[in-house]
Amino acid sequence: MLNVSTQELATPSPVDVDQAEAALVEHYPRLVRIAYLVLPPALGRNRRVLTAHALVQRSLPRRRASAEDGGMPGQRRPEDAVDPGYAYVRGRVLCQALEAGLPLRRRAWPKRAQLPPLLPQVWGLRLFPRSGGADELALDQRLSALSGPARAAYVLRGLERQGDAEVRRVLAAAGVEDPRAALAEADGVAAPGEVSAAGLLESPEFDPCSLQARPTDLMRRRQHGRAALAALAAAVVCGTLLGMPGDGWGPDGAAAPVYARNPVAEAALDPANLRRVAPAAWQRSARTDFSVWPARGGLVEDRALLRRALAVWARPGATVQASATPGTPPGPPMGPPQLLFAGEVDGARVVLFHDGLRAVRYAEPKDGTEGAALDFARTDGADTASAAALVVGRTHANVRYLTAPWVRGVSVRDLLVPSGAARPVERDAYGVTSPLLSPVAPSQCRSWDVLEVRDGVTTRTLTDLGELAPARLTSGPPSAPVDVSGERARAEWARTACLLPMVRAKGVRSVNSWQFGRQELPGAGGSAAWLCTRAETWRGTGGSVLAQFQTPSARVGSVAAKADGSPACGAREPRVLAGVLWRSPAGQWYMLAAGSPQVTSVAASGGVTGGEEGRFLAVKVAGKPSKPVELSGRLQDGTNITPLR
């Protein structure tokens, strides 16, 4: 490799404000796309969008720049045939995007790019780019694993189509200490599928100027608003009382003692008052859920452990690692909770409680209480299927479950191998399983182990999504989902399982996969399946929906559309319409669409024009459309249906 110093490549030339402003206005969408791709994915898509716009908008020079300013673009070369104004603004954008990914340090002032942007700001909405397909999703996951300089190198090479020498120069001008190492790291990322890196980087998935809007958590906004009003009222009352003459606050009157001396609160934290269910209570009960789980484990009589667990639940200290699923209040118990388990699991002392609304897990090391953990999960409305197991322990890539007393047998199955046999799982005397490989662990999704529990009536399939309560997997139409069984259902889930990470950390109760159509592909491409995968949450709102397109040769289904909070594919709205651009083995592009059985006609407009009677559409197109494609359909009763988006 030719060894050329950065100083030899960079020959600054002057750029004034007018020249840079003209370049910024002309190339604004491209500059924002570059910033969005280079910014750290940990910011989340909403903040990445706003930060990308903010970085570009403050990239103009404050005065006429000269060679002494540093960071000026070099003389125009054939491999970087852009005007100096664009090169300067692009360099400023890259520099700020890289600074935004640097960790904050206690002894140094944060850089401006490391702080949330002052402008633009959007209140009450989440903004994010339009969803792409499986190729875009795979590329986004690979880019998220790179360092900031490596992402910048990949973008300059793929999106800006620069040679390695020019990439090194631009990175060095942006402050990267080792441009060669960044290029070497970027070499390890190959564009997935059959589309080039440039084509994927230019897709709507990475376009922060073409956005979708969704509301933020409306319930949380309402709660925060009420809390703010309550705090304001309390402040007014306090100020009034403190200004009164005499004894200030005055007598307490009928008010109860402070929390530390409240008899009800003390009773809730007394291990002697814990509710314990008899081992055979579930056999006589009219309901089978967490409320009839007996207290199990080798430490159910360790009152010191139970007292610590209840005290941490009520008042978690600063060193406690606490987590809660969305919509789960993390507050103290309202009364004495039910004890489900207390015992040693993988070198830790673990206690499981249930208070009617939540399952709560407390864990501490065997050699002390430093590093204790507290997890909350909402479990109200549980039934026999959703109360079949709870996660009792996690270590590295393994997970252990505590199974319900009515579970007669447990096995594990690789969901990606539909024809494979289930493997039996051992349990101890308390119902705790042996360690199982958790699909939550980072991997290339070459396997997806699920738990199968048999209760004497049927076999349930449960999967770990990183929360305290595993999610139940089902298949079939929304009106009558059934547990996963049979070759067809397992074959559908084999190409759906690797998409489940999209619904992690959302408090998911169950996930149903429904094949709503099968379409013969044009050009003798075989038969493709259309599926709708819906994740329901314990809180009843905030469910996620994925529309999939599964071709005969694909290992994983392509995501045609996804939405949060949509009623599509659910019991309230058991219908869906989705479309995708597909290229045949011969290289011909088609616009394909499919609707659920209630759809009687489908039409496309915008970038592609065409329509067909029935619930399937296949329109030949010359290439990828330059304009967005709009789909529409009509139902049996004559009403219109819009596509999932």
Quick: pLDDT tens for 231-290.
666 665 555 444 444 433 344 333 335 455 567 777 888 999 999 999 999 999 999 999
What end-to-end distance do the CA atoms of the chain give, in Å?
A: 47
Query: Which span out of 52-61, 155-164, 570-579 was modeled with the highest average pLDDT?
Result: 570-579
The reply to whether 68 and 134 lie within a common domain is yes
Query: Which span out of 82-91, 141-150, 470-479, 602-611 was modeled with the highest average pLDDT?
Result: 470-479
**Amino acid (one-letter) located at 125:** L
pLDDT digits (tens, 9 = 90+) for 290-341: 999 999 999 999 999 999 999 899 888 888 899 999 999 988 888 999 999 9
Q: Residue 192: what pLDDT?
A: 58
pLDDT band at 4 (very low <50, low <70, confident <90, very high): very low
Inside any domain, residue 424: no
Largest CA distance in the chain: 92
The reply to whether 171 and 77 lie within a common domain is yes
Inside any domain, residue 75: yes
The reply to whether 206 and 70 lie within a common domain is yes
Q: Residue 225: what pLDDT?
A: 64
Q: Residue 269: what pLDDT?
A: 85
Q: Is the pLDDT of residue 134 over 80?
A: no
Tell me what the mean pLDDT of segment 368-382 comes to: 90
Q: Residue 255: what pLDDT?
A: 30
Distant-in-sequence, close-in-space partners of 428: CB < 8 Å, separation ≥ 6: none
Query: Which span out of 21-30, 339-348, 579-588 was modeled with the highest average pLDDT?
Result: 339-348
Pick from 115-124, 276-285, 498-507: least confident: 115-124
CB neighbourhood size of 491 (10 A): 15
Q: Is the pLDDT of residue 435 over 50?
A: yes
Inside any domain, residue 635: no
The reply to whether 57 and 203 lie within a common domain is yes
Inside any domain, residue 117: yes
**Amino acid (one-letter) located at 512:** N
Compute and round to an integer the Cα radius of gyration of the chain. 29
The reply to whether 166 and 314 lie within a common domain is no
Inside any domain, residue 326: yes
Query: Which span out of 176-180, 283-287, 390-394 was modeled with the highest average pLDDT?
Result: 390-394
Helix (H) or strand (E) holding 544, with range, is: strand 544-550
Q: Residue 84: what pLDDT?
A: 84
The reply to whether 206 and 277 lie within a common domain is no
Inside any domain, residue 498: no
Q: Are strands 616-621 and 589-595 parallel, antiparallel or unpaired?
A: antiparallel
Q: Is the pLDDT of residue 345 over 90?
A: yes
Mean pLDDT computed over every residue of the chain: 84
The C-alpha atoms of residue 129 and residue 52 are separated, in whole angstroms, by 12
Segment 292-297 long-range contacts (CB within 8 Å, at least 24 positions apart): 292/405, 293/338, 293/340, 293/354, 293/387, 293/404, 293/405, 294/405, 295/338, 295/339, 295/340, 295/341, 295/342, 296/340, 296/341, 296/343, 296/402, 296/430, 296/431, 297/341, 297/342, 297/343, 297/350, 297/430
The reply to whether 53 and 195 lie within a common domain is yes
Tell me what the mean pLDDT of segment 208-236 comes to: 68
Q: For the chain, what is the domain count?
A: 2
Tokens 């942006």: give the residue.
Answer: 174
Q: Is the pLDDT of residue 227 over 70?
A: no
Q: Residue 213: what pLDDT?
A: 77
Strand partners, 601: 613, 634
Q: Is the pLDDT of residue 230 over 80?
A: no
- Whether the Cβ atoms of residue 404 and residue 379 lie closer than 8 Å to each other: no
Last residue of a domain, one of 335, 364, 382: 382
Inside any domain, residue 33: yes
The reply to whether 186 and 275 lie within a common domain is no
Q: Residue 235: what pLDDT?
A: 60
Domain that holds residue 356: 264-382
Distances (CA, A) of 37 to 51, 104, 384, 556: 11, 21, 45, 25
If one compares 587 and 105, the residue with the highest pLDDT of the two is: 587
Tell me what the mean pLDDT of segment 424-429 comes to: 96
Tokens 């280079």: give the residue.
Answer: 38
The reply to whether 276 and 182 lie within a common domain is no
Q: Is the pLDDT of residue 72 over 70?
A: no
Q: Residue 137: what pLDDT?
A: 79
Last residue of a domain, one of 335, 365, 382: 382
The reply to whether 187 and 67 lie within a common domain is yes
Side-chain half-sphere exposure of 528, counting CA atoms within 13 A: 30
Laid out side by side, the sheet with 321-324 consists of: 321-324, 373-378, 358-365, 348-354, 338-345
The reply to whether 284 and 376 lie within a common domain is yes
Pick from 56-60, 121-125, 382-386, 615-619: least confident: 121-125
Inside any domain, residue 377: yes
The reply to whether 278 and 210 lie within a common domain is no
Distant-in-sequence, close-in-space partners of 6: CB < 8 Å, separation ≥ 6: 168, 169, 172, 173, 179
Pick from 133-142, 189-198, 556-565: least confident: 189-198
Last residue of a domain, one of 146, 181, 214: 214
